[in-house]
């Protein structure tokens, strides 16, 4: 173990040069060796000091090059899952696993032309529109949510009304999505329980590059949790992903909502605040005010 600890120490000294693209193959080879060592140790005793340093280094790797780091770590997440089960008190490990639960958007050179539209709208496009065979146009549907007890008991099944077939560029689809979100927002003010039927779509829209859609998705997610606190942990991977996003606007939106979400998800407050701290250090973003505000609301909650 001394040998691997020394290798890790050398890698730490080589930061940030070791994260450059020309060193990716060698770096990932080292990480795989570290994980294999940890796997061999898991049946006897876990070297906690080495694990802690390994996790710190891995977090820095993700911060520097998430598009390369996350897919590689996801590939070997089974080892990390076992380590987490054997070391439940390792907050950094829980934070790392939470950030690995959602896929990272590929670079533009790797994206298929048919996948160029933002991934966050993929599910909503499937729900709100369908392609007419033999037609170059899309037939779009508008979801009208009837907030009656009968509909709620039947899992809030949508009433779909089709509009005329017209050419619809992607910008118009964004407007349709925003219109649907606005309707959900209005209806949920009286019956917030309906939001839980759109959790999957909200999670995707929370990473959207469209400001209005993203902000409204965050608002609806928090309202959903306020109505049903048991759902707070369902949004944890998405929130962690947003704070580590390569999109500055997505990160800022997540940080603005951090205090309220921390209050609603107190059992994982340590993981969230630790992630915000890492984002501030390695992302060169001032997160101190949001961390301070989060700790303030937690203190106020504990004293009431």
10-residue mean pLDDT profile of the chain (304 residues): values are 87 90 91 86 66 86 83 85 77 72 45 37 38 35 33 31 38 72 90 88 88 93 94 90 91 96 93 92 89 93 82
Beta-bridge partners for 162: 141
DSSP annotation of 230 reads: G
- What is each CA distance from 270 to 32, 41, 101, 265, in whole angstroms? 28, 27, 18, 10
Residue 141 is inside which H or E element, if any?
strand 138-144
Tokens of 64: 């520097």
pLDDT of residue 47: 74
pLDDT of residue 98: 67
Helices 24-41 and 66-75 sit at what angle, rounded to 10 degrees?
30
pLDDT of residue 42: 56
Q: What is the largest CA-CA distance in the chain?
A: 70
| Cα gap 244→202, rounded to integer Å | 18
Are residues 243 and 254 in contact, defined by beta-carbon separation less than 8 angstroms? Answer: yes
Residue 60 is inside which H or E element, if any?
helix 48-64
- 223 exposure class (CB count in 10 Å sphere: 0-12, 13-18, 19+): middle
- 85 exposure class (CB count in 10 Å sphere: 0-12, 13-18, 19+): exposed
| Cα gap 187→7, rounded to integer Å | 57
Tokens of 249: 């606007």
Are residues 77 and 99 in contact, defined by beta-carbon separation less than 8 angstroms? Answer: no
Query: Position of tokens 């991934």?
Result: 119
DSSP secondary structure, 56-107, as one string: HHHHHHHHH-HHHHHHHHHHTHHHHHHHHHH-TT-HHHHHHHHHTSSPPPPP
pLDDT of residue 294: 95
Neighbour tally for 65: CB within 10 Å: 18
pLDDT of residue 229: 92
| Cα gap 55→48, rounded to integer Å | 10
**SS3 call for 199:** helix
Residue 122 is inside which H or E element, if any?
helix 122-128
Tokens of 28: 């990932």
Q: What is the pTM of this model?
A: 0.51
Are residues 93 and 83 in contact, defined by beta-carbon separation less than 8 angstroms? Answer: yes
| Cα gap 159→143, rounded to integer Å | 6
């Amino acid at each position: 173990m001394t040998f691997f600890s020394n290798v890790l120490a050398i890698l730490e000294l080589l930061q940030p040069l070791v994260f450059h693209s020309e060193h990716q193959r060698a770096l990932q080879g080292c990480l795989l060796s570290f994980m294999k060592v940890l796997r061999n140790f898991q049946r006897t005793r876990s070297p906690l000091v080495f694990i802690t340093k390994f996790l710190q280094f891995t977090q820095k790797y993700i911060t520097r090059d998430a598009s390369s780091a996350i897919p590689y770590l996801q590939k070997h997440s089974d080892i990390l899952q076992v380590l987490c089960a054997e070391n439940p008190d390792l907050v950094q490990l829980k934070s790392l696993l939470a950030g690995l639960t959602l896929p990272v958007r590929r670079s533009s050179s790797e994206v298929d032309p048919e996948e160029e539209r933002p991934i966050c709208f993929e599910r909503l496009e499937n729900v709100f529109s369908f392609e007419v065979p033999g037609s170059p146009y899309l037939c779009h549907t508008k979801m009208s949510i009837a907030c009656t007890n009968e509909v709620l008991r039947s899992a809030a099944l949508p009433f779909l009304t089709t509009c005329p077939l017209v050419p619809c560029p992607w910008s118009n689809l964004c407007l349709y999505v925003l219109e649907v979100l606005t309707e959900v927002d209005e209806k949920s003010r009286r019956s917030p329980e309906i939001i839980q039927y759109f959790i999957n779509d909200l999670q995707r829209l929370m990473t959207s590059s469209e400001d209005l859609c993203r902000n409204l998705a965050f608002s609806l997610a928090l309202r959903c949790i306020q109505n049903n606190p048991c759902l707070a942990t369902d949004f944890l991977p998405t929130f962690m992903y947003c704070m580590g996003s390569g999109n500055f606007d997505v990160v800022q939106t997540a940080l603005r909502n951090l205090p309220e979400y921390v209050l609603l998800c107190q059992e994982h407050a340590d993981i969230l605040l630790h992630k915000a701290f890492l984002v501030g250090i390695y992302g060169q973003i001032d997160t101190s005010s949001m961390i301070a505000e989060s700790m303030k609301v937690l203190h106020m909650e504990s004293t009431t």
